[in-house]
A = this chain, B = another copy of it.
């Protein structure tokens, strides 16, 4: 039986290519039973040598690096369907930590099984490679934002990006989605202080672009939000292609 927990991953891949039922089966067979983490817990730490790679099936996680003085920088947000530490399959040693942003649930894949995939399932291997390339594309977009955009643009862009990624995973019906990020965490992601995030958020809300109550974001004016952010989803590579 195909593992229903992998649906968001399958959706993510099928938007970019065709996934055979055999390939789904292989992934399902390799997946562990789900494991839960509480918000704030670390799934993997810098310096670790994971022997399994972790796929988020519910909730949110983040890649981050901590500085000596306690400040941190987030370098990625991951949601259902995202691998959080697939790079460690080849990099071996984690060069950053991964923590749970919310209570979340994951399944893991033994590196041995994934390596087997690279040996015997070239197409599936390319799709795994693809997921790491999509992450890198997002990272380039973050660099652009951090280097050249103002806080409001960056923030609006982040909302656009997250909204689209959640749609792909099937988690943002009705232009509404849950995003369990504190303003401090948002600042850690965008390279801004929580105070400034707070004020910027108020500005954007007062422009009528979206609402954000508790964990719930509702997009009010998607067209205008995209324009505000200069958002172009090209870098998310949402088209199906033979990969």
Contact = CB atoms under 8 A, between A and B. Distances in A.
Interface residues of A, number: 49
Contact of A132 (B63, B136, B143, B146): B136
Contact of A129 (B90, B93, B191, B230): B90
Contact of A191 (B87, B90, B134, B146): B146
Given A92-B237, A93-B234, A146 B148 contact: no
B63 A93 contact: no
Interface stretch (A117-125, A174-182, A217-225): A117-125
A216 interface: no
A133 B237 contact: no
Given A91-B237, A126-B90, A143 B139 contact: yes
Contact of A95 (B63, B135, B237): B237
Given A87-B133, A143-B191, 11 more contacts: A67-B148, A67-B230, A71-B148, A73-B147, A90-B129, A90-B133, A91-B237, A95-B234, A96-B140, A143-B143, A146-B146
Interface of A: 46-47, 63, 65, 67-68, 71-73, 75-76, 87, 90-93, 95-96, 118-119, 122, 125-126, 129-130, 132-137, 139-140, 142-144, 146-148, 188, 190-191, 230, 234-235, 237, 239, 241, 243
